[in-house]
Amino acid sequence: MAEGFLKHYTRERKLALEVQSGGTRPEGYVHPLAIQAMAEKGIDISSHTSKGIQPEKLVKFDYVISMGCSDKEVCLVNFHGVSRDWKIADPFGHPIEFYREVRDEIEKKVLALLDELTA
Check residue 56 and give its pLDDT: 75
Domains of the chain by residue range: 2-110
Decide which of 2.120.10.30, 3.20.80.10, 1.10.3720.10, 3.40.50.2300 is the CATH code for 2-110: 3.40.50.2300
Q: Name the stretches of the chain with pLDDT < 50.
A: none
* CA 35 – CA 49 distance, rounded (Å): 11
Please tell me the predicted confidence (pLDDT) of residue 71: 53
